[in-house]
A and B are shown apart, each in its own frame.
Chain A
Amino acid sequence: MARRAGAVSWPGVAVAAALCLLTLGTLGAVLARAEGASLTPADGSAVRFTVLQAAVSALLSVGFAVPVARALARRRFAGRGLLIALMGAPFLLPVIVAVLGLLAVFGRQGVLNGAVQALGLPAVSVYGFHGVVLAHVFFNLPLAVRMILSGWQEIPAERFRLAAALGLGPGAVLRHLEWPMLRAVLPGALVAVFLICLTSFAVALTLGGGPRATTVELAIYQALRFEFDLGKAALLAALQFALCAGTVLAAGWLVLPGAFGGGMDRPVQRWDTDGPLARLMDAGVIAAAAVFLLVPPGMVVARGLPGLSDLPAGLWAAAVRSVLVALVATALCLVAALALGVAIVRGRWSRTLEAAGMLPLAASSLVLGTGLFLILHPVIAPYRLALPVTALVNAALALPFALRLLLPALRGIEAAHGRLADALGLTGLARLRWLVVPRLRPVLGFAAGVVAALSMGDLGVIALFADQGAATLPLLVQRLMGAYRMEAAAAAALVLVGLSFGLFWLLDQGGRRAAS
């Protein structure tokens, strides 16, 4: 092709290099300290369990997401936008908090078993393989719904109009309009959820029910914590990279659609969906999804309320620290994602750069933290860097999500305005300032909200670096639980959730307001 080749975009290349260093470099640092390594049969079964639960979780998440997205795409009702926003909540909920919310619904003393036993049926146990899958579906259904919903809304309204003019029924609409879209969107959604579940840790830890439910990341944790077998941890982390890379290769390429971009609250006018049965079915699907996704967070709120009157003294200091870390992580992450995104959309080596942007998704955060510790320790006392390192790692771990949000919008901006900007010689920072950032504001705000919420809730590497002064809110929740103070822990968890969503809301709204 003789299309003018883009120049190399050095800031983007620098970000990609930093990501490689942070993921593969830390792995190397751990490996360098290892004294031989070997895997046991137990590690083999951990790999099998990991792949199996991730596959089932991905299939179910995406399988349930299709009818939910379809119903949401073709119905308009009061509060639709708010409902869609709220249904994103589980994805942003800190894992330890969310697991407690799930147990309040599905646990032995949970709402579900209360109802089951009232009917005289035997209690159901949530622990085991199905518990892990349940939790993963809970976390990832919102993501899958968002991805598929955006696919539905990207079908131009004119096509539905054309279909109506031709008198096509629901079956024909499905075959000619919706199925081609699904075929394009579903593989990306499946791969995304699969990868997220592949590196799952805390869920399997609590709901797995025992050594059967050992994931690779959990095996890494055990290797690092109890056996102090750095070689084994590094080997398992490399295996995890290989699994992720293999998945991506097997799926062709990681063509994730624009996950949760703007315009979600815009229902498409449809003409093929007005039967009473279709209405009833859609209403049922939306209601079921809302109950499944909203009741557990609701239980987190209910559990936290009693303790709010007597919050532990260190809570607000920890909250301030968490918010600061989240804001720094958000700024870092967005600058990096923007640099990388611009390089991918405009410059050379775009596939390599895109792959680098996905690396943190495959990294073991435990190995990453350990590697950083090994690298930093000879130079400076790690506790001095607890908060900066936490912000850096949170930024890196959230980057794949931010990048996936920004890329479609960046491509759209290039498609619509890139030539004009080229013709005017608008390059570098000027292009960013006068074209990219102003056009990107709503997506940037949303991405900032997602990154901030993920950073608020993520324990990341703080546990490895923190000292007595530097506790963040999730660490405080854990410390409270470790000191028998379960009610205070629930209240602190509620504050954590409140702050996460508050940050998300502020940043998202800020982006939208700045754009208008």
Chain B
Amino acid sequence: MRSSMFAAGFCAVATMAAADTPVLTVLTYDSFVSEWGPGPAVEKAFEADCACDLRFTTAGDGAALLARVQLEGAGSDTDVVLGLDTNLTAAAAATGLFAPHGMTGANTLPVPFADPLFLPFDWGWFAFVYDRTRLATPPASFEALAASDLTIIIQDPRSSTPGLGLLMWVEAAYGARAPEIWAALADNIVTVTPGWSEAYGLFLDGEADMVLSYTTSPAYHLIAEGDDTKAAAPFAEGHYLQVEVAGKLAATDQPALADRFLAFIGTDAFQSLIPTTNWMYPAVTPAAGLPGGFDTLIIPATSLLLSADDAAKLRPGALDAWRAALAR
């Protein structure tokens, strides 16, 4: 209801607010601000005591965010960008548009993570998700998957962050053998979709046995739908991490508010919203712990994460190998 009221009077409200209170503009991806995402609750909690107007502007996903920041350039109205991931941060840093966040708070990521420009707000392990009623024994590694005749749907690394994550996963796990793994996987891949939602939708429609998603995906079905048939397959190579981060733009006209928002990200008020709205792990586990249902999820023994610089350096070659393997 709130969002439709917002929509109805949106122009008037925006103008009035601009006159009375400072506005903090946060650029984030689409699903963050949807009425089922963390956005509405985050906005309410932050506005409760900031004496400001928090407004979200959106772009499709993490990759679109970076493109948008670059399009807007130094003349941007954006103060904070929320939703880049570590495969994009090197490129984001290279734009020179971001300023150090200066936060020192700890996080509870499974690997050590610190970046002067970017502050993690949530994270997840990439994993292949399957339906237990249709697949009794899932493959336990990329090689087992490639050797099987199971079908999978993946995302295009040239247009989606999970797709790029998978590229880096294979790269981190196999290094020089990555092209060989891709060649072996080629006949398992039903199709390559532009983004996560198309792939996941096709999987739910039964178009493939497994889909590239997150180890937390089954939690959605369990908690929101009471459906325990979905599970993530643990891979022996370890699972690649997606760490989603926020950063402050150097050209912000609200530096104090932006800092306040970045600090807010690390609080329980923000972090406790993440598990059941963004369906990811919070960057700082809330004092109350994770919601019930998350305890049923697989916990990979090994977490893989390339440094931002390595990810940026490896990307062109990995992309060529991927394209070559799948174009055959």
Contacts and interface: CB of A to CB of B under 8 A. Distances in A.
* A contacts B: CB pair < 8 Å: yes
Interface of A: 42, 45, 100, 103-104, 107-109, 125, 127, 202, 205-212, 221-222, 224-228, 312-314, 316-317, 321, 370, 373-374, 377-378, 381, 383-384, 463-464, 466-470, 475, 478-486, 489
Contacts of A469: 3, 6-7, 10
A315 B147 CA distance: 44
Given A221-B159, A377-B72, A482-B197, A316 B59 contact: no
Given A370-B71, A467-B58, A226 B197 contact: no
Contact of A478 (B8, B30, B224): B30
Contact of A381 (B31, B77, B193): B77
A466 B58 contact: yes
A221 B159 CA distance: 8
B57 A228 contact: no
Contacts of A482: 30-31, 34, 195-197
Contacts of A212: 326-327
Interface string B36-56: 110100000000000000011
B20 to A, nearest CB: 18
B201 A486 contact: yes
Chain A binding surface, main DSSP class: helix
Of B158, B200, B208, most buried by chain A (CB within 10 Å of CB) is B158
A275 to B, nearest CB: 45
B205 interface: yes
Contact of B33 (A103, A108, A225, A468): A468
Given A211-B322, A378-B75, A108 B201 contact: no
A313 B192 contact: no
Contacts of B221: 484
Contact of A479 (B8, B31, B55, B191): B31
Of B37, B66, B164, B201, most buried by chain A (CB within 10 Å of CB) is B201
Contacts of B11: 384
A321 B63 contact: no
28 contacts: A42-B323, A205-B193, A205-B194, A206-B198, A207-B191, A209-B191, A210-B191, A210-B192, A211-B326, A221-B194, A225-B60, A226-B63, A226-B164, A314-B4, A314-B7, A373-B71, A377-B72, A384-B11, A468-B39, A468-B56, A468-B58, A481-B197, A482-B34, A483-B36, A484-B200, A484-B221, A484-B224, A486-B200
B64 A103 contact: no
B1 interface: yes
A103 B202 contact: yes
B190 interface: yes
A489 B34 CA distance: 13
A61 B207 CA distance: 26
